[in-house]
């Protein structure tokens, strides 16, 4: 029989894996922020790209048995946070451009 604590431990392990992946994603976002035109909010926010990513992740989620609504909520939050980071990096070109 599986205990609640055992299941919580499994969730903790999955959360750690997610954090590792998010750290890798952040590194890529930082590189992208440095490559886009300086101080270009339109290039950073890329609303058409965001719309397509959200739709794709919802479709992928459904195929994997994850609620598309859960995937949408997670990706909206993640994209919002990473976009804010990318905007900061993109506007601070003196420190990030070589």
- Residues in CB range of 58: below 8 A, 6 or more apart: 68, 71, 72
Q: How far apart are CA 42 and CA 26, in angstroms?
A: 19
Q: Does the structural domain 4-96 have CATH classification 3.40.50.300?
A: no
pLDDT for the residue numbered 94: 53
What are the residue ranges spanned by the domains of the chain? 4-96
CA–CA dist 92, 89 (Å, integer): 5
Nearest 10 degrees: Cα torsion 43, 44, 50, 56: 90
Q: What is the pTM of this model?
A: 0.83
**Per-10-residue mean pLDDT, the chain, length 98:** 93 99 97 88 92 98 98 98 92 59
């Amino acid at each position: 029989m599986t205990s609640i604590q055992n299941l919580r431990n499994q969730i903790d392990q999955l959360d750690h894996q997610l954090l590792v992946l998010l750290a890798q994603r952040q590194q890529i976002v930082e590189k992208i922020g440095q490559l886009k035109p300086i101080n270009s909010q339109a290039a950073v926010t890329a609303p058409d790209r965001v719309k397509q990513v959200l739709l794709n992740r919802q479709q992928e989620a459904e195929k994997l048995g994850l609620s598309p609504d859960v995937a949408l909520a997670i990706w909206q939050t993640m994209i919002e946070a990473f976009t804010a980071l990318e905007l900061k990096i993109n506007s601070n070109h003196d420190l990030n451009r070589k």
